[in-house]
Structure formats: structure tokens, C-alpha cells
Amino acid sequence: MQSLEALTREASALASNPMNEGPIGFAMTPAEGEVSRIMQVCNACRYCEGFCAVFPAMTRRLEFGRADVHFLANLCHNCGACLHACQYAPPHEFAVNVPKAMAEVRLQTYVDYAWPASFGSLYKRNGLTLALALAGGLALFLILALMLQGSLFPSAVSSHGHDGNFYAVFPHSVLALLFGVVFVLALFALGVGVRRFWRNEEPGTLSGAAIGEAVHDVLTLRYLGGGHGKGCNDADDAFSLARRRFHHLTFYGFMLCFAATCIATLYHYAFRLEAPYAFTSLPVLLGTLGGIGLLAGPAGLLWLNLKRDPQHGDVAQRPMDRGFIALLLLTSVSGLALLALRDSSMMSLLLAIHLGIVMALFLTLPYGKFAHGIFRTAALLKWSVEKRRPGALLVDD
């Protein structure tokens, strides 16, 4: 049996060879080559086997081609545990930094599998400045449109103002069509990308048990527990469940807001119940709870992002992370302000600002940080299917 050191030298030589090819025949990029090299070291070491799904998935492989590298990179939740546990982490000459190498490949996954392909480069430009500029530009456009109509302030419309009715400012049908089309297009673009990712290396046949396990792992964010349930490493080697909790607040806050919108649409079209709805009604209660979650979650994630150890992940992607977090935060702040002041003369102005921000969020969904949740879900499902296949090792046909 080869020693770990000999395996590492072999892996380094493979990774530095520009003609290094994966099983599907394309030369690897430096980022892919680095994950391939590190996985060969880890496969000899296996110390971190119980930390997350990456390591058991790794042990089912003898070599790491492009498809394997992208699968494993998206299975990694960037918890940082294996970096702090690793005896071969920098400054050791093996320079094993799994979370950083995986993060760099994840960005490449989003770019390579983007639909349309020419939009893939947007992932590299989708930073904080672009997010704020897009939201500001769209909000300004809506404000100017209302000014030209003379309906920016309700006193110009009637003595009663808009009575808290958003659809007196922008008709419900126009909003539903505009936002519905953009949201469906965003999901379609992500869906095409994930389908390509799935087909890159078919894991086997889907089963109810595999789907159930993947859904459970996604909804509980099992792998942000660090393998022992104590959580991630953020600024140092101390464990914390903060990142899992802030992710949960963000995700479930988003889902509650989405549910509130769907129920309001049902009220409007199916039951002919028109807005504004009482503060105690189901859409408003769900929207308020969701807005609070969407405020606390992204605020916490931004705080963690600012203090995160630069060795975790890829610092070049932080503008993309922060752009997405900023849009989520602005969505909740403007939404809650709109609800609180819906009966005031500020309602039209706040509505235009809120809609501009939400539209910027929807437009950037398929080409920004949101993609990590979609590709990671697909990777978890792949792993749930793959682990149920008989035989310990996967070999290329």
C-alpha cells in the first residue's frame, strides 16, 4: 500500500498537469485539479469521515474526475470543521484546505451549468454594488412613473388617499403578471442548470426513501452541525450553531412570505376578498412573521460573513454573498415599513421602493448566491440515491 506522502506527491503531480482529465474527457481547471488533489490526500487519511456527507461520498471513489469534483464541492456546506481538524492544513506542505477548494469549484459549477450559458459570467459580477444599484434603479423608475401619474402621494389622488390598498397604486393583475413571469423564469433557468448538473453523473434510481432523507437533510441543514451537532466554525475553532439558525430564519422567513403572497392571491381571485387585509388576517400574519425571520436571518448571516475566517471558503465570492444578503435584508425592512405605514401618505413611495427591491432580488436569483441552495439540494439528493447503490466503490464505466 502506498504511503500517504507518496499518494500526496502523485496527487500534486496530477493536479499540476494541465492535461489532467476527468472521466468525461475535459481538461480540469486549476480549481477542479485542487479539489481532485485534496480528495486523494483525504481518501488516504479519512480522519474526517464522520463530519459530513462529503467524506463517505469520497470513500466510494478511487479517482476524482470533473463530475465527482463538482458533486463533492456542492455537497460541502462550508462548515469549516475539516479545516480546523486537519493536520495537513496550511502551513503544512500538503496545504489541505477542503472548504476553500470546494467553494472555488462551487462558483465554477454555477458558471458552467448556467442557463443561458452566456449568463454564467454574471455570477462573478453579481456583487453588493450591482445588487444595490439594480434595486435603487428599479425603485427610482417606479417612483418616477408614479410621479408622472401624479399618484406618488395620495392627497393628489383623493381626500382618502389609497386607504392602505397597494393595488390602487399598481393593479394586482400587473404585479402578479410581472413578478410571476420573472420568478418563473428565474426558477426555470436554475432548473435547467440543475438538470445538467444531475445528468453530469447519474447517481442511480430515485426512491421515496432517498427523497425523504434528502428533504430532511435540506430542511434541517443537517450538515451545518459539523458532524457532532455542535455547529460550524466561523471566526475560529469554536463551534457555533449560529449559522444554521440564521439560515433557518432566512429560509423559513422567505417561505412564510411566499405563503402569504400565495394566500393573498387566492383571496383575491378565488374568494373575491380584496386587499387591504386586516393585521390579524392570515396573509398579513404570515407576511409579518416571515418578514421578521427575513430580517433576523440575513442580519445574522451578514454579521457572520463579516467576521468569518478568510481561510474558510473563497473570499473572492464575498461580494456575491453580501449582495444577496443585502437584497434579502432590504426586502424585509422595506416590506415591514410598508406594512406599518400602509395607511399613511408614504405608502405609494414605500411600495415603489419595496417593489424595486423585490424585482432586483428576483432578477438576480438565478445568477447569484441563491443558486447555492438549489445545487446543494441536488447534491444531497444525489448522495441519498448514490449511498443506496450496492457496492462500496463507484467505478467509471
Report the nearest approach of ligand SF4 to the CB of residue 52 (Å).
3
Whether cis (ω within 30° of 0) applies to the bond prior to 116 is: yes
- By beta-carbon proximity to ligand SF4, the closer residue of 354 and 369 is 369
How far apart are CB 227 and ligand SF4 at their closest, in Å? 6
7 or 178, CB closer to ligand SF4?
Answer: 7
Q: Name residue 197's amino acid.
A: F
* CA distances (Å), origin 112, targets 23, 63, 109, 123, 260: 17, 21, 5, 10, 35
Minimal distance, residue 43 CB to ligand SF4, in Å: 8
Rounded to a whole number of angstroms, the minimum distance from the CB of residue 46 to ligand SF4 is 6
Cis link prior to 203 (omega < 30° from 0)? Answer: no
**Rounded least distance, CB 179 to ligand SF4, Å:** 34
Specify the 3-state DSSP secondary structure of 379: helix
Residues 6+ apart with CB under 8 A from 380: 53, 75, 214, 217, 218
Q: Looking at beta carbons only, is 55 or 277 nearer to ligand SF4?
A: 55
Residues that bind ligand SF4 (CB under 6 A): 41-42, 45-48, 51-52, 54, 76-82, 85-88, 96, 98-99, 102, 223
Give residue 204's region: left, alpha or beta (phi > 0; psi -120 to 50): left
Q: In angstroms, what is the minimal distance from the CB of 372 to ligand SF4? A: 13
Contact indicator for 90, 81 with CB cutoff of 8 Å: no
Burial tier of 185 (Cβ tally within 10 Å: 0-12, 13-18, 19+): middle
* Gap between the Cα atoms of 288 and 353, Å rounded: 18
Beta partners for residue 239, in sequence order:
233
Q: Smallest distance, Å, CB 248 to ligand SF4?
A: 17
| CA distance linking residue 38 with residue 35, whole number of Å | 5
Buried b / exposed e across 249-269, counting CB within 10 Å, b at 16+?
Answer: bbbbbbebbebbbebbeebbe
Instruction: Pick between residue 102 and residue 333 the one whose CB is nearest to ligand SF4.
Output: 102
Separation between Cα atoms, residue 251 and residue 367, nearest integer Å: 18
Nearer to ligand SF4, 38 or 352 (CB): 38
Cβ nearer to ligand SF4, comparing 81 with 353:
81
Decide whether 109 or 261 has the Cβ nearer to ligand SF4.
109
> For ligand SF4, which is the closer residue by CB, 228 or 307?
228
Q: How far is the CB of 211 from ligand SF4 (least distance, A)?
A: 21
